[in-house]
Amino acid sequence: MIIIKTKKELEIMRQAGLVVAEILERLAGLVKPGITTATLDHFAENYLAERGIKASFKGYNGFPASVCVSVNEEVVHGIPGKRRLNEGDIVSIDMGVIVNGWHGDAAITVPVGEVDPEIMRLLKVTEESLYQGIKAAQVGARLGMVSHAIQSYVETAGFSVVRQYVGHGIGRQMHEDPPVPNYGRQDRGPVLAEGMTIAIEPMVNVGGYEVLVRPDNWTVYTKDGSYSAHFEHTVAITSNGPEILTRK
């Protein structure tokens, strides 16, 4: 069941979104060769603790951290730890918070120092595919138009879209209906209505779309070892068009 949010509820989700946007901006500023992935989690934990804000991910199905940090061939759900970032790596940072009972969820992928131009293109294409998806998220459109916009943009650029993990509705729960695939037909899926809130999150691989999960039961990585990028925003469907909630 898709839960429609009132204007008041959207206002609270906007506050959650702002916190996420602020933290992600600061985390991006911390990324440089030599830092550990745990550094990013510690920053987020301190930031949230100082303000009495809860992270969405910590403890979710037992996830041990506040931020997912996924490096290079890792797609999503990486657990921050002792791994040090190297020049030329890319690092995906995914984070959600709960403000007054409402979630905001977003992700970015950041280059570590100087990165191969083809990998920089991966980051650009993945981020732009997110905006193509957002643009399609209009009242009266089918959700499949969002999915299709992302997939066609990514595949035209020569990359592939992960199938096994998808975006999601979001609100009082981090994961609500509907699932938001990053691939598929335009004429499928529910019709978008004012007050729906969805997290759109393309995961894009340089090589094939197949992914596997590490023995830690969390870290998703590309089967062929190719690099993967991930960008996400929480978006409200409004009569004035899609509104990005996780933006300053």
- Beta-carbon contacts of residue 101 (< 8 Å; ≥ 6 apart): 12, 172
Q: Least distance in Å: CB of 232 to Mg ion?
A: 5
* Residues in binding contact with Mg ion, number by CB under 5 A: 2
Q: Least distance in Å: CB of 105 to Mg ion?
A: 4
Is 199 a binder of Mg ion (CB under 5 A)? yes
| Cross-strand bridge partners of residue 222 | 211
Rounded CA gap, 76 and 88, in Å?
A: 19
Between 14 and 233, name the residue whose CB sits nearer to Mg ion: 233
Transcribe 69-128 into DSSP letters: EEETTEEE-PPP-SPBP-TT-EEEEEEEEEETTEEEEEEEEEE-SS--HHHHHHHHHHHH
Stretch that binds Mg ion, among 21-29, 60-68, 181-189, 196-204 (CB under 5 A): 196-204
Stretch that binds Mg ion, among 99-107, 124-132, 155-163, 210-218 (CB under 5 A): 99-107
Between 47 and 57, name the residue whose CB sits nearer to Mg ion: 57
Q: CA separation (Å) from 3 to 9, 65, 162, 170, 176?
A: 11, 28, 26, 9, 8
Binding-site member from 9, 41, 74, 105 for Mg ion (CB under 5 A): 105
Q: Least distance in Å: CB of 17 to Mg ion?
A: 12
Q: Least distance in Å: CB of 28 to Mg ion?
A: 18
Stretch that binds Mg ion, among 38-46, 101-109, 176-184, 210-218 (CB under 5 A): 101-109
Between 105 and 176, name the residue whose CB sits nearer to Mg ion: 105
Number of helical (H) and strand (E) elements in the chain, helices listed first: 4, 15
The answer to whether the CB of 166 falls within 8 A of the CB of 202 is no
Between 132 and 197, name the residue whose CB sits nearer to Mg ion: 197
Q: Which residues bind Mg ion (CB under 5 A)?
A: 105, 199
